[in-house]
Structure 1
Amino acid sequence: MIAGGIQVHHVIFSVKAFIAGMLAYLIADYFGLTNPYWALGSAYIVTNPLSGSVASKAVYRLGGTVLGAGAVIVLVPSFVQEPVLLVMAITLWAAICLFVSSLDRTPRAYVFMLAGYTAALTGFSIVSTPEISFTYGTSRMIEIGIGILCASVVGRLILPQALAPVLSGKVEGWLSNAADLTREVLSGEADAARTQAERNRLAADATGMRMLGAQVAYEGAQARAAVERLQAIKYRMVMILPQLSELADLRTALGQSARGREAGRAIIAPVQDWLDMEDAQALAAVDRLLSRLAQTGAAVLADDSEALRALWEGAPAGALGTWEALLVTRLAERLSDLVCIWNDCRILRSDLAHSEGPALRQSLSSRYRRSDHLHFDYGTSVLAVVTMMVAAGIAAAIWIGTGWHYGAGMLEFAIIMCSFMAAMDNSVPVMKKVLQLTLIALGLAFVYQFAILPAIGGGFAAEAAALAFVLIPCGILMASPPTWFAGFQVSVNLIYMLTLSNQIGTDLVSFTNASLGTVAGLIVAATVTSVFRAIGAERAARRIARAGWSVVIDAASGRRNFERERLYGRMLDRLGQIVPRLGALPEGSRVRGNDILRDLRVSLTVMQIQRAKAALAPVARMRTEEVLARIAALYRARRRHQEGAPDDLRRALDMALAAVPLSDRPLCDALAGLRCTLFAAAPPPGLDPLYRPSFDRRTDDERIPA
């Protein structure tokens, strides 16, 4: 089952997990706790090949257990005389916890999800005996705490594998791939479809690294010192992607004329050389390169071809046209931004593994330390909660209506499955797989419960030796990401189905009823989810894309003023969420061809236009507002599954460019950038020859040189 075969580190991880689990079971059993198998199961749940992941999950699991047990201690005595109300109260608590968990897109979300279903696991078991709520709840916390402690100690003491070097390697790999993509974009040799796919993959990888980064701080003081630089470099990394998107379009637009191609090639070549330099050499040369890029715009707009050729070898000798000059100026600005970002990445990368750094590096870490601005889909979260509550309601009705004592297990597993699968678009296939693996675990538990354990006669050593034949192979599966799910489901379900204690149970009726309750809970959860929650990748991806289109509409309509950093974070996070779903989208899907980076650039440029249009003369302002209105109309049409009117928008952009005076450089630059973003391959607009002196605004319909 493991691609490439079993490796030594797979076996080491499995043995460590087994040692931690059996140590937790031995301690819990020695102190006479009610359900020592909970300690064993908790050790397997939190164990992970990376010590930082073990520590973070241990903290989150302990916190969730405490919250869940606290809820039981409060709710059970409050509804001691009303079992039905108690079931409703615990279900409502689990629903609230699931809603909060679905909105907290960090590893910390495990705390809230666990708090919800821990209350269900504990509370429904003692509905008929509410007087033991405090004892039962505290006992469950102690058992889980022992398992967590053993998994953490064993993970730290026996051949620990730190997460920080793994994450540093991922950052290095990301930057290397981004550098290759940057070279392809600058050379003009990249295929448009492949470039977009590679940008999407880098965005998805950055989203995954955000989750890993949240766990690094649990590895000690040195790792915590690296977190600040890690946050900074992640923020700068994702800023590369929009820059590459625009540079590709600028190259396409400049390629419409021979002079534009020559000017673009001359300016880009030194940047390519700078990217190929070693870090030390590049850091020494960056100021000179940025200075040349800063002087480019002035030379172009002043029609000083000699100054341009002095700056860039190979620049065209004659004057550039108006449109070409606007594009070349914008190209120089975007290249300057790209060089600054890559320079910061070089500095931060070289210091990522150190706890102390030069003042400049610490300044960069502080300047680009940002909280994550993430996309939240409240509708999907509400749907997940409704699905769980309906499944819980059906299971509770069967339990209460039939008076079946083991129906509590059905309700518990319905809540657990709906909670764990809440983040999936369509979790029904996964639930079916869980059912298959649960049946496998059920068969193994039956053999152990009624054949192996009675034959060996009890005793810790004998039980451990018997369990090793299943738990160690399952641990090997857990060590490999592709097979982790199978190993986890079989091992954890086997542990909880056996209900190991200091006395071997051979009650076939109880075992059968408990097993039926588990299977029935899975079936109820899968059935309800297939009706309420199977939204599919197409619908989920479109919901995310619509959120991005709404941002563009709001910006173009002037209804909202977005913070730049927040907009970057939200749009790139949306891209990171759509990318994993692209493979499941049908060929004709509109979302498949949608470029969120282009939407981000449109919204940023639109906000720039909104800020600059107030100072325009009436006609120029009217033309600019027409552009904004047509952008809003185009994206509204996308939301309604309709085609917009891009040709009308292009004509409106050309008229606005002709009406806005060249002296208003920020607005001219924004309009040129917007046209390049939306119509990079279109023929150049028919603009008047570029007047080199500044312009006044004595008339509305024509520009007169001062």
Structure 2
Amino acid sequence: MKPVADRGISLSLPAPVIDPQKLLFSLSSFIAAAITLAIAFSASLPRPWWALLTVYVTAQPMAGAFRPKVLYRLGGIATGAAVTILLVPNLQNSPELLVLCLSSWTGLCIYLAVLDRTPRAFLFQMAAFSSAVISFPYLDDPVNIFDTTIARVQEMTVAILCVTAVHALLQPWSATPVIRARAQSFLRHACRWTAEALAGRHTRLENEHRRTLAADITELGMIAVHLPFDQRWAPATQRRVRALQQQLANILPLASAAANRLDLLRGQDALPPPLAQLLDDIAAWLADEGSPVHRAGFLIRRCEALADEAEARADWTSLLTASACVRIAEFLAALAASRRLAARIGSPGRPGFKALSTEPFALARDHGVAALAGLATASAIALYCAVWILLAWPSGSATAAFAALITCSFATQDDPAPVIGRYLSATLRTFPVAALYLFVILPRVDGYEMLVITLAPALLWMGYIQADPARSPQALPMFSCFIVAMGFQARFQGDFAVFVNTGLAQLGGIASTLAVTKMFRSANVLRTARRILRSNWAELAQLADIRRPFLPDRWTMQAVDRLGQVAARMAVAPPGDALHAADGLADLRIGRNIIPIRRALPHVPHDARHRLGAVLSGLSGFYAARWRHGRADPPPPGMLRAIDEALSALLALGPDEPRRAALRALVGMRCNLFPAAAPLAGGQARP
């Protein structure tokens, strides 16, 4: 019989593929950890393991993400330490009141962190986290709380400065390529679903894809915050990202509006052949990623010519055709500008495009959502401590500290239960590795140098996992279990009883956090989504109210941001839930139609102004009623009559630009609010 190798069969396993960037990140974190341990041992800090854990808690793959957060993290640590020194000595004889104050403080910090939604939120989150982990382990014996607090602040400060310095020198990741890749991915995705929508091939998941794109726009701005810390020409790059965000925010409503008009035309079997040919050409341009951007100008001119020709006829089918052509032209212009901006991200020189607004991308903030997160966090921590105090559990203080740590880490999520469940699983898998090191390897290690060499395989492996976005949630529990179990005192102490008690405290903290989270937080996801939708309806009611300030650019950005927030929560809604009936994209399109109507009010005669005012008044009342009732009620029939009267009044006027914009907005509003209504009758031709 021939040998296996002679028969052409290979028994060799495929070589593992190692990502150099992820390995560099892991190596950078390990170097920072080694420096932190050396400083902690040299300065005789009481808890070197705490400093080491802080290194890996604060490490992030993007180099630029460190520097804007350093001051926030240090400020949060100082604030948490000050609260600890203020509360613990003064309330040490009233543990119930002390627990109430600490849990209330933690809830307040989480409220501010959820409300802020910028890197500044790390200040509030770190203040909650540091005060909890400093206070709870020493509530049984608060005599030396001042010295303990100072020691914890020193350990965390040393760790944060070391990891920031090392990653700043080695720069494992830059924010600029991430932004460029995210923007280009957005554009590819947007081109794909827009080509399908314009061609009438609506996929089953189209709405979900479009809402996900809204979340990507918001995330683009979150990453762009780190750009000034990334490179010397970052201010220009940040202006490009701001302009890109605003162009991308226009793509969503424009493309969906065009698809809406085309669906109505196809439903009436009234799609003109020239428009059908134009749509084929646009779809071909969108499908070809290598097609030149300047070809969009030729397509835009064809759209505008068809729109002018259709508007001259002034019947309802022609108005629909003109509206579709105008929205397609505006979409193509925004897409072409976005492509140019995305290509220039990260290159020095002038921005090339001016931002549509001088304001940064406005985030939608909801005090109710933030208050729910803060209240749930405070209630959970108070419940942990009540069980600990009532049962007189010896390890309860450590469990409360771990529970507070985990609660603060995931408090900004609507339903942290699935993440905490994976946290528990990763902790259980790491215990055997920690036991192997503590009882088999470390007893044979002598000296700092050998300790670092011995720890290298485990810490580099965990750091590589941390650099992988798909597996990074597993890294924090692995580091926590491994580092806390080691202890890393100046003199080795391999006590099995201490190891078991520490492990049980960690598992108890995670398990109790998971149980309380399921009781308090898991039911809040749909409630949060409904609150966001109601906030959007309230903003639409104010946008349509002519007595209110008019800030259209800010409204558009916040509406797109809310669309992304709702998208992240729609997945948990059951199929029959009323949440699916609330179309955030339709609300976004209606809001953008309100804007040209309000702008046209000073430029039209009194009678037309009265008709437009009636439409705006009806819209304001309609969305105010939705906000009060908390459900997506259909518009009243009287609003259709008001829109038709305003359309007739505008059709009788001259063709100035404000009138044209308001006319197109009314057509779009009628299509969005009353898609099944009969065609407009009695349209008058222009004089």
Residue of structure 1 in register with 2:149 after alignment: 137
1:70 equivalent to 2:59? Answer no
1:251 equivalent to 2:245? Answer no
1:32 equivalent to 2:66? Answer no
Q: Which runs of 5+ in 2 are unaligned?
A: 1-13, 654-658
* Distance change >3 Å, CA 184–CA 524, structure 1 → 2: closer
1:89 equivalent to 2:101? Answer yes
CA shift for structure 1 position 118: 0.3
CA shift for structure 1 position 240: 0.9
Residue of structure 2 in register with 1:493 after alignment: 481
Letter in 1 for 2:540: V
1:691 equivalent to 2:685? Answer yes
Q: How many residues align?
A: 666
CA shift for structure 1 position 266: 6.8
Distance in 1 (CA, whole Å) between partners of 2:72 and 2:630 is: 42
Paired residues of 2:635 and 2:673 also in contact (CA < 8 A): no
1:338 equivalent to 2:328? Answer no
Distance in 2 (CA, whole Å) between partners of 1:531 and 1:346 is: 46
CA shift for structure 1 position 568: 0.9
1:47 equivalent to 2:56? Answer no
Paired residues of 1:245 and 1:597 also in contact (CA < 8 A): yes
Structure 2 counterpart of 1:586, from 560, 568, 574: 574
Paired residues of 2:419 and 2:473 also in contact (CA < 8 A): no
Distance in 2 (CA, whole Å) between partners of 1:321 and 1:574 is: 36
Distance in 1 (CA, whole Å) between partners of 2:482 and 2:171 is: 27
Residue of structure 1 in register with 2:190 after alignment: 178
Residue of structure 1 in register with 2:33 after alignment: 21
- 74-83 or 338-347, larger mean C-alpha shift: 74-83
Structure 2 counterpart of 1:563, from 551, 556, 576: 551
Structure 2 counterpart of 1:209, from 187, 198, 220: 220
Letter in 2 for 1:421: F
Residue of structure 1 in register with 2:8 after alignment: none
Q: Deviations over 1:441-464 (max 9, x none)?
A: 4454445444543x3154324433
Paired residues of 2:275 and 2:306 also in contact (CA < 8 A): no
Paired residues of 1:233 and 1:348 also in contact (CA < 8 A): yes
Distance in 2 (CA, whole Å) between partners of 1:582 and 1:397 is: 35
* Distance change >3 Å, CA 624–CA 509, structure 1 → 2: same
Letter in 2 for 1:163: A
Letter in 1 for 2:522: A
Paired residues of 2:63 and 2:172 also in contact (CA < 8 A): yes
Distance in 2 (CA, whole Å) between partners of 1:554 and 1:539 is: 23
1:113 equivalent to 2:125? Answer yes
Residue of structure 2 in register with 1:599 after alignment: 587
Aligned pairs (5 A) from 1:358-397: 361=351, 364-397=353-386
* Distance change >3 Å, CA 626–CA 45, structure 1 → 2: closer
Q: Deviations over 1:86-144 (max 9, x none)?
A: 44433332222111111111233222111111011113344466564444333323322
Residue of structure 1 in register with 2:472 after alignment: 484
CA shift for structure 1 position 4: 11
Q: Deviations over 1:14-70 (max 9, x none)?
A: 344333322321221122111112221122122233322344454543332233223
Letter in 2 for 1:604: R
Q: Deviations over 1:487-531 (max 9, x none)?
A: 321122321232211112244554444444333333333333222
Distance in 2 (CA, whole Å) between partners of 1:274 and 1:295 is: 19
Distance in 2 (CA, whole Å) between partners of 1:433 and 1:63 is: 30
Structure 2 counterpart of 1:324, from 305, 313, 317: 317
Residue of structure 1 in register with 2:10 after alignment: none
* Distance change >3 Å, CA 623–CA 462, structure 1 → 2: closer
Determine what percentage of the aligned residue pairs are the same residue.
Answer: 27
Distance in 2 (CA, whole Å) between partners of 1:349 and 1:634 is: 36
Residue of structure 2 in register with 1:122 after alignment: 134
Q: Tell me, what secondary structure is at the counterpart of 1:482? A: coil
1:229 equivalent to 2:205? Answer no
* Distance change >3 Å, CA 185–CA 662, structure 1 → 2: farther
TM-score, normalised via structure 2 length: 0.84
CA shift for structure 1 position 5: 6.0
CA shift for structure 1 position 621: 4.5
* Distance change >3 Å, CA 392–CA 273, structure 1 → 2: closer
TM-score, normalised via structure 1 length: 0.82
Aligned pairs (5 A) from 1:512-551: 512-535=500-523, 537-551=525-539
* Distance change >3 Å, CA 482–CA 275, structure 1 → 2: closer
Q: Which runs of 5+ in 1 are unaligned?
A: 304-319, 694-706
CA shift for structure 1 position 246: 0.9
Structure 2 counterpart of 1:218, from 229, 235, 243: 229
1:459 equivalent to 2:453? Answer no
Residue of structure 2 in register with 1:312 after alignment: none
Q: Deviations over 1:274-298 (max 9, x none)?
A: 8799999755984x87677667666
Distance in 1 (CA, whole Å) between partners of 2:269 and 2:374 is: 59
Paired residues of 2:63 and 2:230 also in contact (CA < 8 A): yes
Residue of structure 2 in register with 1:676 after alignment: 671
Q: Deviations over 1:169-219 (max 9, x none)?
A: 221222233234444444x34426554343223222223322222223322
1:662 equivalent to 2:652? Answer yes
Distance in 2 (CA, whole Å) between partners of 1:344 and 1:147 is: 44
Paired residues of 1:236 and 1:368 also in contact (CA < 8 A): no
Paired residues of 1:274 and 1:282 also in contact (CA < 8 A): no
